[in-house]
Chain A
């Protein structure tokens, strides 16, 4: 595929990164881990979750691009990763849209005890 267009001898040609390069990626991953642990001791309120997800995504990007070779791989594989992230976005968006508005249609939603029968409501997390 694209990475191999310049070679038509049919042999496998891959990009080989240097050891110092991999060490640098690993060091960056450790630094970001330290950052996220450190952040957990500082209360940012509603931004806590955003900070956690942003730092984790930076780490994930490093792993995917360099350890998993997407940076130098066939472009189609990278496209699949992007499509996958897109579908995760759809998954979250539709689920949160549904869960966040159910109460507008069904006031008994998310109750533990069914007010009509007095029994434990189906699907309630009540033990």
Chain B
């Protein structure tokens, strides 16, 4: 309580420096919302909220991983046979693409922490391009699965001429693997699409000059979301492709 009181009357506090030397009139920088005392408090609150959301996302994906675990435990041989129909090279390429995009997203945050606007924009563009490349590769993988009839549930009708040469025959219940594959990579892919949208928005705001050394929270939070997308793929790739 005493710190809040001090902040409320403090002339040192950026959030309350509206004493005659402030261009915006009455309340400090325009990005500081009126219910926060200081930029630091606003920043910490935003990060806390984002982490609550991310933890929720992780727990949400964990339900799918539990389903994966149960079925793999029941039908280990089926998982091996079905997994061999996935394209390891494409999966590995996508892993590298996504890791690189996470790396550039981290560098975008670093640039915005230092107030380097143009550099931040360039790193965001690279991140968006990598995300698009991920989706293009995924599109080719999905197209092949459609042709080969490797689809979830009742849609599962393996087409021998499109299956990998010399691969073991697919057991009847392999549709379970492809249900998990399409639901897990599909929801992950949806997150990638949403991430592209978020980064386009962040790019526009950065270009517009909304951010500075003092205020880069949205760049930071967008990157946190993007790292989560990477995090899920880090588990999906070996569990789906490398059995």
Residues of A within 8 A of B (CB): 1, 4, 7-14, 16-17, 19, 22-23, 25-26, 29-30, 33, 36-37, 39-40, 48-49, 52-53, 55-56, 59-60, 63-64, 66-69, 73-74, 76-77, 80-81, 83-84, 87-88, 91-92, 95-96, 99-100, 110, 125, 127
Contact = CB atoms under 8 A, between A and B. Distances in A.
Given A77-B51, A84-B55, A125-B173, A37 B234 contact: no
Contacts of A66: 106
Nearest to A23: B103
B231 A10 contact: no
A25 B74 CA distance: 37
Contacts of B239: 52, 56
6 contacts: A10-B40, A19-B107, A25-B106, A63-B231, A87-B59, A88-B59
A109 B233 CA distance: 33
A116 B7 CA distance: 74
B51 A92 contact: no
Q: Is the interface of B mostly helix, strand, loop or mixed?
A: helix
Contact of B44 (A1, A30, A63, A91): A1
Interface string B42-76: 01100110011001001100110110011011100
Contacts of B52: 80
Interface of B: 3, 7, 10, 12-15, 37-41, 43-44, 47-48, 51-52, 55, 58-59, 62-63, 65-66, 69-70, 72-74, 88, 92, 95-96, 99-100, 102-103, 105-107, 109-110, 113-114, 153-154, 156, 172-173, 175-176, 214-215, 220, 223-224, 227, 230-231, 234-235, 237-239, 241-243
A40 B106 contact: no
B126 to A, nearest CB: 13
A63 B66 CA distance: 22
